[in-house]
Structure 1
Amino acid sequence: MNQKKFHMPTAYTILFLLLILVAAATWIIPAGSYDYVDGVPVAGTYHTVEQNPQGVGDVLKAAFSGFYDAVDVCIFILMVGGFLGVVMKTGAVDAGVGNVIRLLGGREKWLIPILMLLFGLGGTTYGMWEETMAFYPLLIPVFLAAGYDAVVGISVILLGAGAGVIASTVNPFATGIAAGFAGVSLGEGIVLRLLEWVAFEAAAIWFVMAYAAKVKKNPSKSVVGVGAGKIQVSMDQQVPFTAKRKVIMALFTLTFLIMVYAVVPFDEMGLSLPALGWWFPELSALFLVAGVVIGLIDRMSEEELVETYVAGCADLLGVAFIIGISRGITVLMNDGAITDTVLHWGEQALSGAGAISFTLLVFALYLPLTILIPSSSGLATLSIPIVAPLGKFAGVGGDLVVTAFQSASGLVNIITPTAAVVMGALALGHVPYDRWVKYVWKLILWFLLLALAFLVAGVLLG
């Protein structure tokens, strides 16, 4: 009798199972709340409230509520899809990728450290994370054409930026918010975080390059199989890189450069460059306009341009749904009034600990909290006002609390299924979640040990 082989569920099924688990938790975990002042919880004010368990109807609505909550990100993803659909129709990407591979002439491996350093710089300086979604459809075909698998393309972006986010130096969206609530400046603890960034980024680059070399030498070593990916480039049928396609690729590149510049908060980082302060609505408009301009340059008809753009949006609709569903987990926790209870348990666990024990417990506390609340800025706002004051009794400075928070948050967010970027990136590359875990778990373990070592060093040298 043939036994059916187990297949890992899709990202949607995994997220819906998590929604059910969180809803079940609202029936077991006592409901509670802190007192809030201007949206910030006040330490020591936790109290129980009326239980509000979430039922079947709440689970079904949570995904839609999450979608409403993340509508700006979802629309941005769809606009990127439409933009890429138009650019792909012109043949410029195929021609450009083919030209890049020919120019590299067997030196494609150096794209890995160069690009990972760039994404790492974005991650450590301004928390480049959700914005990376625009780069996966661009870079996955490059690495596929170079003879690697989709995992390498995903890793260059996700692990490059992720290592930077773990060791955020001046990231205003996580470190800056956390430092403000901890009562310390953004500059306090920056030396430790800089050393962290060097160590984490170096480990990530070495890990990805070693895997890429193994796959290039022996494709059977791939965790998913060479060629697995949504967008593929065939080097057997090379597309000519005409003058028109060169102009399109120049505009294509310029669009991404504008996106990166527009979201960097230069003013909050103490730099004199003018900050545009754009976020997802403005970025969505940028990709819409860029897609239309490129379509006109390619002399598409009005009907062809619209149909191509809409079809491109449809290609990334699944990723937008994943982002919405993942946000639904936080919605259920808040509606079930268990978020503050979980935080209160952490507050009790931290009380009375010594300096090293306290720091490591803070790190340990944020590991499960990040799974439940993947937003680093949201988690900082919710928890740092509670956790940071406890550090004073343990002799731990606010800067070390911030470092422990961001290290745990960044670490979890490169593997947790509740992180929309992780599940979205894997969906774009057609990489099953279990294959990603199988591939990345060793690096996660190294990151964990590095983070603990840096935190203990921070206590001893503080």
Structure 2
Amino acid sequence: MPDTLVLIFFIGVLAVLLTYLIPAGSFDSQTISYLVDGVEKTRETIDPSSFAYATDKSGELVYNTVGLFESGGGIGLMNFIFEGLVSGDKWGSAVGVIMFMLVIGGAFGVVMRTGTIDNGILRLIDKTKGSEALFIPVLFLLFSLGGAVFGMGEEAVAFAIIIAPLMVRLGYDGITTVMVTYVATQIGFATSWMNPFSVAVAQGIAGIPVLSGAGLRMGIWVFFTLIGIGFTLLYASRIKKNPSASFSLKGDAHFKKQSLESKASRWGLGDTLVLLTVAATTIWVVWGVVVHAWYLPEIASQFFTMGIVAGILGVIFRLNAMTANDIAAAFKEGAGIMLAPALLVGAAKGVLLILGGDSAEPSVLNSILNSAGGAISGLPEVVAAWFMYLFQSVFNFFVTSGSGQAALTMPLMAPLADIAGVTRQVAVLAFQLGDGLTNIIVPTSASLMATLGVCRIDWGDWARFCWRFILLLFVLSSVIVVGAHLAGFA
């Protein structure tokens, strides 16, 4: 398989070609209001009836063609990676996600330098011999719950840094780590009954009671979480018996080498305090996300503080003979590990900028959205329900943000559902499943690329592994969406 960066470059070439084939269009915006837990919220969305293709003074359609180069901050094929890297702000992709990755990479680099995690893993393995398989279902369940309750996604990157060496030393691999962390969060995200970043926003825009239909969604969450646990256990047991069957052998070699280099296990007061610092930070971050809606800046700050505290403890208790300079060196090394996935995040964002991104200006992306809506409106009811799910799955390649995709697509899908004879609740369900589950494979997902990066897995190797799982989820989701329509889910 080609390197991930090579794949994204060719996707960028395809996006450039689309700008020559599809004219640019735009929607007017509108502000809608909806209630969440009794609190009125507002959001800018598109007006689905306002679409128009851009025309020049002579009435000819405008094509926002993209060339090789563009100056003045414009987008071109040869500068789409740079523009992607510097796009956005501290609250989101790409620069916010990239800085988040560098900070938490550095913070956990300091924690790892103390040796506490390595020694803790060795002691844990010694004390749990014969019951290692319990780690997989327990971790998968916890991360899936995190995705369902508060939209956990980017946070999985931090945990993957710790869990990856644990999984390898238990006889599993990096793929297993991605499954129990990031994939679990996306299954929870896609089937959530209360996620404020997807289902609440989508239902508010669709004009149906926010957090309604929770009973069915809870059942779907349980079902998909069990499917994910079962699939992961089957793969993990196969790798345990035959390590050479792993899809992540290159990355696993790094963690196995660390294992061989590990010295005899030690444990003292300093190690206990470092571990308590990591645990307390984790609990504190989860509390902040749930209660105060913390996002990238706040989460990164808490993990940075964790790294500083762990480093000071390492110096005081002479863990691995640490000095103040070692704290700085470990932080830089940890951040350096994140540079490769950070480049991929910027490159993926650059592809979206070629197509117009989420700008209010006329774009190819708006034209694709409008054409898909027109095609769906003329289909039979059952087919329309399924096509809504199919469209959301494909569109998620271009807009991986749950709330962003809801703001773009739900104002169009909600009235189209009325025309096609599909309930708006089913339209929201199609959005949820399409938006969340394809995050597991699309290379434009910043969180996926970051998690793969810390586990040292190429996207091509990941795709070779997970296409069967994605196909299974796609078939099951299709059955659920069609079944919900036939049952009159409202």
Q: In the alignment, which residue of structure 1 is the partner of 2:177?
A: 153
Give the secondary structure class of the aligned counterpart of 1:234.
helix
TM-superposed deviation, 1:101: 1.1
Give the secondary structure class of the aligned counterpart of 1:372.
coil
> Would you say the 8 A contact 1:32–1:338 is kept in 2?
yes
Question: How far apart in 2 are the matches of 1:26 and 1:278?
Answer: 37
Task: Give runs of aligned pairs for residues 165-180 of structure 1, distance below 5 A.
Answer: 165-180=189-204
Superimposed CA distance per residue, residues 76-127 of structure 1 (whole angstroms, 9 cap, x where no aligned partner): 1111111111111111110111111112112111100000000010111222
Does 2:219 align with 1:201? no
Q: In the alignment, which residue of structure 2 is the partner of 1:315?
A: 337
Quickly say closer, same or farther: Cα 1:135–1:454, change in 2 above 3 A: same
Q: In the alignment, which residue of structure 2 is the partner of 1:409?
A: 435
Question: How far apart in 2 are the matches of 1:225 and 1:123?
Answer: 28
> Would you say the 8 A contact 2:337–2:454 is kept in 1?
no
TM-score (ref. length: structure 2): 0.87
Give the secondary structure class of the aligned counterpart of 1:119.
helix
Q: In the alignment, which residue of structure 2 is the partner of 1:376?
A: 402
Q: In the alignment, which residue of structure 1 is the partner of 2:117?
A: 93
Give the secondary structure class of the aligned counterpart of 2:411.
helix
Question: How far apart in 1 are the matches of 2:454 and 2:115?
Answer: 20
Q: In the alignment, which residue of structure 2 is the partner of 1:29?
A: 22
Q: 2:347 aligns with which of 325, 331, 354?
A: 325
> Would you say the 8 A contact 1:148–1:226 is kept in 2?
no
Superimposed CA distance per residue, residues 338-396 of structure 1 (whole angstroms, 9 cap, x where no aligned partner): 01100011111111333312211101111221112222211110110011111112232
Give the secondary structure class of the aligned counterpart of 2:280.
helix
Task: Give runs of aligned pairs for residues 284-303 of structure 1, distance below 5 A.
Answer: 284-299=300-315, 300-303=322-325
Quickly say closer, same or farther: Cα 1:184–1:229, change in 2 above 3 A: farther
Using the TM superposition, name which of 348-357 and 75-84 deviates more: 348-357
Q: In the alignment, which residue of structure 2 is the partner of 1:3?
A: none
Q: 1:40 aligns with which of 27, 36, 45?
A: 45
TM-superposed deviation, 1:41: 1.1
Give the secondary structure class of the aligned counterpart of 1:40.
strand
Superimposed CA distance per residue, residues 259-299 of structure 1 (whole angstroms, 9 cap, x where no aligned partner): 222112xxxxxxxxxx2222111112112221111111111
Does 2:407 align with 1:398? no
Does 2:79 align with 1:61? yes
Quickly say closer, same or farther: Cα 1:352–1:226, change in 2 above 3 A: closer
Does 2:365 align with 1:339? yes
> Would you say the 8 A contact 1:26–1:53 is kept in 2?
yes
Q: In the alignment, which residue of structure 2 is the partner of 1:214?
A: 238
Which AA in structure 2 matches 1:290? M
Q: In the alignment, which residue of structure 2 is the partner of 1:351?
A: 377
Question: How far apart in 1 are the matches of 2:278 and 2:269?
Answer: 14
TM-superposed deviation, 1:224: 3.0
Which AA in structure 2 matches 1:460? L
> Would you say the 8 A contact 1:229–1:430 is kept in 2?
no
Q: In the alignment, which residue of structure 2 is the partner of 1:185?
A: 209
Task: Give runs of aligned pairs for residues 262-301 of structure 1, distance below 5 A.
Answer: 262-264=288-290, 275-299=291-315, 300-301=322-323
Question: How far apart in 2 are the matches of 1:229 and 1:425?
Answer: 17
TM-superposed deviation, 1:229: 5.6
Superimposed CA distance per residue, residues 288-341 of structure 1 (whole angstroms, 9 cap, x where no aligned partner): 221111111111443332232122211212222222221222211116710110
Question: How far apart in 1 are the matches of 2:151 and 2:5?
Answer: 26
> Would you say the 8 A contact 2:98–2:345 is kept in 1?
yes
Question: How far apart in 1 are the matches of 2:326 and 2:174?
Answer: 30
Question: How far apart in 2 are the matches of 1:147 and 1:227?
Answer: 14
Q: In the alignment, which residue of structure 2 is the partner of 1:122?
A: 146
Q: 1:240 aligns with which of 266, 270, 282?
A: 266
> Would you say the 8 A contact 1:415–1:422 is kept in 2?
yes
Q: Identity, % of aligned pairs?
A: 30
Does 2:408 align with 1:419? no
Which AA in structure 2 matches 1:244? G
> Would you say the 8 A contact 1:229–1:428 is kept in 2?
no
> Would you say the 8 A contact 1:11–1:423 is kept in 2?
no
TM-superposed deviation, 1:226: 8.4
RMSD: 1.8
> Would you say the 8 A contact 1:147–1:226 is kept in 2?
no
> Would you say the 8 A contact 2:417–2:424 is kept in 1?
yes
Q: In the alignment, which residue of structure 2 is the partner of 1:386?
A: 412
Superimposed CA distance per residue, residues 205-226 of structure 1 (whole angstroms, 9 cap, x where no aligned partner): 0000011111111222222338
Q: In the alignment, which residue of structure 2 is the partner of 1:16?
A: 9
